[in-house]
Structure 1
Amino acid sequence: MTFTPSLTFAFEIRAEVAEPLHIGHGDGERTEFTPITGGSVHGPRLQGTVLAGGGDWSSTRGEICGLEARYLIRADDGAVIDIVNRGYFHAGGDSGDQYDGTLKVAEAGYYFRTSPVFRTDAPAHRWLAETVFVGLAREEDGDIVIRIYSVG
């Protein structure tokens, strides 16, 4: 028996977003809300659309941006799936790049990872609520693209 996890690509979420709304500043922290306006889900395990109405709350302290997005997916079979996706975005790697305070930066040299949790009672999609996932994210053409992998 091995204790090394494996990752299997499940699907990709492409979330369309509006301009961030500034909420406030607190003791060295900037808080914003980014509305999610739609999008798509494509992959070997799930196909569907991202429903408008969700959003991402972010809190930035220094160069570390903590993210918490909550939104709904409608699978191609009509099932509605709730997702809460928490993660972090910050400069990293050996590129020497510095975080510029936005998500609109080059992918190289940045750490943009999430830990999505799904809820649904749809029998065909119950596996989502019973599996641990990690997401590797990037900004692309104004959308947030997250490749979702199941942890085995």
Structure 2
Amino acid sequence: MPLPVRRMLARMVAPKYLVGAVTILRDSDAAEGDGPDRLLLLRQPHRGGWGLPAGLLKKREQPIVGAARELFEETGVRVHPDDMTAGSPNAIVHVVGVVDTVFFASVPASTTPLVVDGAEVLEAAWFPVDDLPRLSANTALVLGHYGIGPDAR
């Protein structure tokens, strides 16, 4: 079978996924003993609960670069990709055809201003890990994979 025909057939039967990047941002002040372990969460108009900074990757964008970009776009927090760590597992497949690549980072919450645009993100806030607000279903799933939140495994 000619190569163009094989490619066309493969594209027709292969599952298609959207690939996103998620950042689990922790408060580094807590690591130094200054308060409880906290996570940065976002309240967005299209979600049914609080979520993590996340978004779809641009064409040919490296996942870690996309995670840093989305974090900055949604919160105003700039973290260099070299200062992010890939989660293990790094990719989580959702039943709706989305694959999330997950990265961890930390910044001092006490000195890091949060800037949201009010359209895509209504509010950003730090929450203690042992007292999280109502989470969106995907956020609870993602955090649960890493032993965080109500769905911790």
Query: Do these two structures clear the TM 0.5 threshold for a shared fold by scoring above it?
Result: no
Using structure 1 for the length normalisation, give the TM-score: 0.27
Greater helix share, structure number: 2
**Higher RCO (CA 8 Å, separation ≥ 6 residues):** 2
Higher percent of residues as strand = 1
